[in-house]
Amino acid sequence: MESKQVTISGAGLVGSLLSIYLAQKGHRIRIFERRLDPRKTLIDGGRSINLALSDRGWKALEGVGLEGEIRKMAIPMYRRVMHAVDGSLSFQPYGKEGQAIYSVSRAGLNAKLMDLAEKTGKVNIIFDQRCLDVDLHAAEAVFENQSSGERNYVKADLLFGADGAFSMVRGAMQKTDRFNYSQHYIEHAYKELTIPPGEDGKHLIEKEALHIWPRGNYMLIALPNLDGSFTCTLFFPHEGKPSFESIDTTEKARDFFSKVFPDALALMPDFDVDWEQNPISSLVIIRCFPWTSNNKVALIGDASHAIVPFYGQGMNCGFEDCTVLNQLMEKYGDDWYTIFGEFEKERKPNADAIADLAMRNFIEMRDLTGDEDFLFRKKIEGWFSAKHPDKWLPLYSMVTFSHIPYSEALAEGVRQDRIMDEIMKMPDINTNWQSVAVEEKILSLL
């Protein structure tokens, strides 16, 4: 295989992983990253920010031999724990026994990927270099050193835009003919808060779980960290009542939390500081096409498909991009025309599907996980699926614990919803849900 000189804009999760896959194929890579080296600089004031890693992400890490090392710093979350206003708890397993999604530190994972990339000897990461523009015909990018203002003109055989939701590489593509692009801000934003460790570094609520405080139009969630703390995220409307706009002082926020999330507030001694210091961040969905240009430039990860975080799939989807690109490199060798063409053809419908699924899951998490009918439907689905695992894999499992393309999972989920609508209309379903009649009805509708 011919060794190519490759430029990657962005050393985030996807850009760093991509560089390792490219290095394994013998290419030489330079990554230009806007930030300073996060391994040497404290980012986010040292706050722990975590992500849920699931099967698609694990597979991509396995492909570069990093799975074992990341497992050591990952906390399994076997179930959702729902917190009602009165403090009572209910539970919903994520999958079959032993199946879990994993909480990992974003900064820790990024640092490991950067280390491994550099260890290949074929990847050079250059920090404090912001991409300003790209010549798409020449695969030449301009990077600026933020401190000195010095500009770097970098030409390569191939250029990847892994520079996130506000990608400058995509910005250059947006100026070309017949480039489709949409950017949609949802009405909710988020703010991070912390539940610190208890005495002896113990977790103060169930460690191996994802906690949700579903409250209809908004919710609070918490994921565990290795140091005994939880990173909590409040997903809340920008405007309306209640909203970030209406709750505009720390006193109001504390009062609101004491009424709506009292058990969580009781575990947040630093609530006031967190509320004041941590930003309100917007959530955006970005769709675009094509993802490649002139057989030389390609977008990957959030640069081509930024989604809302409610399925915990944004990074997993970006990592799956790397798995698919690797499979195509193996299949087509140096034929980058075919690799790029197949890559965008295969990934685009799946990125669109996970964008839709993620919005669906927001409604499920914030509203339905506190709804008895919904939990009852899930119970029937789980029962039927255990009896007929070859005929019914719940949607959550298809997305999280399988490698079924997202677009197929979405289509199957819609079909399952229609079937369950019929089942819920059956007389005496509340008492007879584990009956032969229900089983046969589902089988007949499949």
Ligand X SMILES: Cc1cc2nc3c(=O)[nH]c(=O)nc-3n(C[C@H](O)[C@H](O)[C@H](O)COP(=O)(O)OP(=O)(O)OC[C@H]3O[C@@H](n4cnc5c(N)ncnc54)[C@H](O)[C@@H]3O)c2cc1C
Residues that bind ligand X (CB under 6 A): 9-15, 32-35, 51-52, 130-131, 162-164, 168, 190, 233, 301-303, 309, 312-316, 318
Of the candidates 69, 94, 59, the one whose C-alpha atom is nearest the C-alpha of residue 79 is 94
User: Cβ closer to ligand X: 10 or 63?
Assistant: 10
When CB distances to ligand X are compared, the closest residue is 12
User: Cβ closer to ligand X: 313 or 350?
Assistant: 313
| Geometric angle at alpha carbon 309, from 307 and 314, rounded to 5° | 55
User: Cβ closer to ligand X: 76 or 262?
Assistant: 76
CB of 20 to ligand X, least distance (A): 13
User: Cβ closer to ligand X: 316 or 385?
Assistant: 316
CB of 154 to ligand X, least distance (A): 11
Distance CA 80, CA 46 (A): 27
SS3 category, 297? strand
* Half-sphere exposure of residue 343: CA atoms within 13 angstroms, side-chain side: 32
CB of 310 to ligand X, least distance (A): 9
User: Cβ closer to ligand X: 12 or 405?
Assistant: 12
User: Cβ closer to ligand X: 300 or 442?
Assistant: 300
Distance CA 229, CA 427 (A): 47
User: Cβ closer to ligand X: 92 or 416?
Assistant: 92
CB of 198 to ligand X, least distance (A): 24
Please, which residues have CB within 8 angstroms of residue 435's CB and are 6 or more apart in sequence?
Answer: none
CB of 215 to ligand X, least distance (A): 18
How many other CB atoms are there within 10 angstroms of residue 336's CB atom?
20
Q: Are 190 and 235 in contact (CB under 8 A)?
A: yes
CB of 24 to ligand X, least distance (A): 18
Per DSSP, the residues of 191-239 read EEEEE---GGG--SS-SSEEEEEE-SS-EEEEEE-TTS-EEEEEEEESS
CB of 88 to ligand X, least distance (A): 26
| Distances in whole angstroms, Cα of residue 312 to Cα of each of 2, 42, 113, 162, 261 | 37, 25, 19, 19, 23
